[in-house]
Chain A
Amino acid sequence: MWKTILRRFLIMIPEVIILSLLVFLLAKAMPGDPFTGSINPKADPQQIKHLMRMNGLYDPWYQQYWNWVVHLFHGNLGNSYQYQEPVTRLIEGRAGNTLWLALFTMILTYVFALPMGVFAGRHEGKLPDTIIRVYTYVTYCIPFFVILVIGIWIFGYVLGWFPTTGSISSDATGWLHTVGSRFYHILLPGLLGALFGTVNIVQYLRSEVIDAKHSDYVRTARSKGVPNRDIYLHHIFRNSLLPIAAFAGYSITGLLNGSIFTETVFSYPGMGLLFVNSISYRDYTVITALVLIYGILNLLGTLLSDIILSIVDPRIRIE
């Protein structure tokens, strides 16, 4: 087991290097530079050139890349051109927001989806199953940003139940108030994300439950007279969780990605928006830092998924 993990870790190193090189080059290949958007009648092109030179943007790419790598090993991801502050601090500020929202959404999604999946599987072909299936398909069909806009309009503006912008109220003071306000702000986007993001889990779980229902060990359990409730709880549910568990690793990766849609609609400062903005602004340092982080997270997520799988399913343990 440990050998596997170690081996996977070692493979990650060249992967990360290639990834960073690719990202670096692709970012530079985009038309424009961090100062393209800054031209205005009073901004002197000479000063812009001076700033470009100062930031090493005229150096050959390999030199820029090398400088970047050297800084990286000093824990310095550079300064954002757009935000004029260290990238690490910028990401620090956003990562927390994204993490809380994503974690909350993920937990809620499981809370909604797991019972729905089991229930649908158990009542296969009957009315509850049909309702759940229709529900998941319908929610799957509607583009998420439409849901968000409608959601914020009804619950935020018309009914006024939820805050509509930001991650915290501007007058929040004290620990309790701060945490409460933060939670209040992620409630609506979290709920919407969870209610409309169940389809994968429900469908996987449902088909697994249906499969399990007809398997030998369930029949054996039934013939022994194990109560239905226990069969579902101990035999079927546990086994059906396999693909969901495999999923989990990836979901954790997704935690930091952030949703561009949610963040735009709710003016919620998170990583998704940061990423998109950094691309439009050609904020190279932010782009490369984020892609690198995402890349590493993805690799870790895959690894985590494998580990989880091997824990729940001894059959696939690699030695």
Chain B
Amino acid sequence: MDKKKLALSAVAVLATLSLAACSSKSSSSSNSGTSGASVKLSASYKNTKATDKSATKNSTLKLAEPNDSPFQGISDPVLSTNAEDADVFSPGGDTPGNINGLFRTDGNFKIIDGGLANQKIDRKAKTVTITLRKNAKWSNGDKVTAKDIEYPYEVIANKNTTSQQYSADYNTIKGMAEYHTGSAKTISGITFPDGQTGRTAVIHLSKVTPAMKYAGNSFIWSSVEPYNYIKNVPIAKLASSKQVRKDPLFTGPYKLDKVVEGESTTWSPNKYYYGKAPQIKHISINVVSSNNIDKAIQSNKYDFTVPNSVMRGTDYKQIKNTKNYKMVGQAALSYGYFGFNVGHYDTKTQKNVMDKNSKMSNKSLRQAMMYALNLDAVNKKFGNGITWRGNTLIPPIFKKYWDSSAKGYPMNIKKAEQLLDKAGYKKRNGSKWRSDPKGKPLTINFGAMTGTSAQAAEYQDYLQQWRKVGLNAKLATGKTMEMNSFYSTIQKPKQNTVDIYAAAWSLSSEPTPTQIYGEDATYNMGHFVTKKNTQLMSNMNNEKAWNDTYRTKAFKQWQNYMNEQAAVVPDNFSYNWSPVNKRVKGFDMGAANQNFWTNLSLTSSSLK
């Protein structure tokens, strides 16, 4: 389920990497929280025309997956590692990004009843009970069983697995660590009260946390595996097997008719689907080069792009006024950010350590650098309307948790200069540049990934703004860095090459940030650690956090603290958007719409 990749803000023109923002769950239907954006998009397209029954039955719903390389073809969410696979196989789940998903969610990604299975958390017994619905079936007619709920854990934790999903959080499941190291043959902490072929699986944990109430958490896996169908394939070979690539099974509204390797998938209704019957009888999904997607839309080739697929700002500019299309979008499950290098990672204790004397350890300096930037103008000019300045480290798609009142860092040159003066960063001996409080020259190295020409212009603007307030800033290594070099550099336990960097994170639908900003998080690449921060993050999942109001408050407190400390600062938020042809009816990409595919119908047999 967690195929979120590190969102690379660098997407070259003839891009070879497309690991950009992908999410495990589609998102909220509200467009509140996008107030900073210069264009207003709605998460749904309310087509008032009547459904054309014969068109819905006879024509093909044509979807495009904008991507520069062929998709890998791994249909199984446990094994796939990238966004494209999740996209081209998405009709196999209730909603895009929820292939073979167990649960349904509300608009806040909270797990609710009514899906393939229901979940019950017992705080006292520390168990999570997952019960399948009576008519839960695979697309070949086989029953979905309790073993199918358990098998993903085996695949994830198997010693020889190719899955990248295992994380320390799974060790909270009893017996999981033993199975992972190979000392146990089965996972003792997952039991079947009415047998493997029954409908119930109980997961015994060493602790339960409020995060488990939300889809996308890192404790409870949220999809099923067709155990009977794949049990004879060794787990190491599962990803390359025909059961996963050519003839996979699904529990969603559609079943796979055909996959052309790397190019396209075609779908027809799954008659064993438990929910509302799909109205459209044929779906095709084709990979379209990102360089042509604008032209493909302009010439009415596709009904829409797969929700969550990567559409660029320049595409928006090109196609926003296309006659037969409506632009639909909502805030993405991701954000761009600036990270300051304020410490190192101690490989012995496996903890991040702040260095009090590091170049960027001065809070005023960090704040001043952020006030110096003109992110509003940069996003307006280069964002093509679909990105806007971020105000916190929780994107607005999390309606409840996002702090709409947070100010973030709007440009304020005067304040920046005041902060620097006060902290002792002064121009000395007639120098053009400010030196550090001790009087030593200060050069700030900005690490940035190679990307589009617009991004290059943005970086230059940042440098220019910093120079404006008297800071001698330059690109680390003298030029932008290729993605691999960039991450190799900043992921080193200790490095002095980069003082501040621009990058992006893509989030799961459960936004607890410990794995990127925690004390022992390897991904805490700026190494910002304080007692207060650790405390605030643990508040999000303590005993009191079972109360939603408390949890919401905890998230907001953390956002304010992070903003004030300015060690990791939001850069921008963006829309996750899709052009939708006006013959499509019922399109709603919001998280609250749990019948994404089955709600769709057509009002005409022609796209024009």
Contact = CB atoms under 8 A, between A and B. Distances in A.
Contacts of B263: 165-168, 170, 267, 269
A32 B239 contact: no
A153 B484 contact: no
Interface in B472-486: 482-485
Interface in A265-279: 265-267, 269, 273, 276-277, 279
Contact of B484 (A31, A85, A277): A31
Contact of B239 (A48, A85, A153): A85
A228 interface: no
Interface stretch (B46-54, B283-291, B584-592): B283-291
Given A152-B292, A264-B289, A276-B16, A36 B487 contact: yes
Contacts, number: 176
A42 B167 contact: yes
Contacts of B275: none
B425 interface: no
Contacts of A266: 289
A153 B295 contact: yes
A157 B296 contact: yes
Contacts of B68: 264, 273
B5 A37 contact: yes
Contact of A84 (B239, B260, B487): B239
A39 B482 CA distance: 16
B485 A32 contact: yes
Contacts of B289: 165, 264-267
B119 to A, nearest CB: 19
Interface in A42-100: 42-48, 50-51, 54, 79, 82-86, 89, 93
Interface in B185-202: none
Interface in B221-272: 239-240, 245, 258, 260-266
A265 B67 CA distance: 10
A282 B286 contact: no
A276 B12 CA distance: 13
Given A46-B168, A170-B286, A157 B2 contact: no
A160 interface: yes
Give the secondary structure class of B's interface.
loop
B6 interface: yes
B488 interface: yes
Contacts of A223: none
A300 B487 CA distance: 40
Interface stretch (B502-510, B543-551, B556-564): B502-510
Interface in B45-102: 67-70, 72-74, 79, 81
B379 to A, nearest CB: 24
Interface residues of B, number: 67
Contacts of B143: none
A42 B288 contact: no
A38 B5 contact: yes
Contacts of B169: 44
Interface string A158-178: 101000111110110000000
B240 A89 contact: yes
A36 B482 CA distance: 12
A269 B239 contact: no
A164 B505 CA distance: 33
Given A168-B260, A171-B266, A264 B484 contact: no
Contact of B291 (A48, A166, A264): A264
A130 interface: no
A145 B299 CA distance: 20
A41 interface: yes
B167 A47 contact: yes
Contacts of B299: 157-158, 160
A265 B440 CA distance: 52
Residue among B79, B292, B299 with max Cβ neighbours from chain A (10 Å): B292
B17 interface: yes
Given A260-B14, A273-B69, A166 B286 contact: yes
Given A37-B5, A40-B5, A41-B516, A170 B264 contact: yes
Interface of B: 2, 4-6, 8, 14, 16-17, 19, 67-70, 72-74, 79, 81, 160, 162, 164-169, 218, 239-240, 245, 258, 260-266, 284, 286-289, 291-292, 295-296, 298-299, 301, 482-485, 487-489, 491, 505-508, 513, 515-516, 522-523
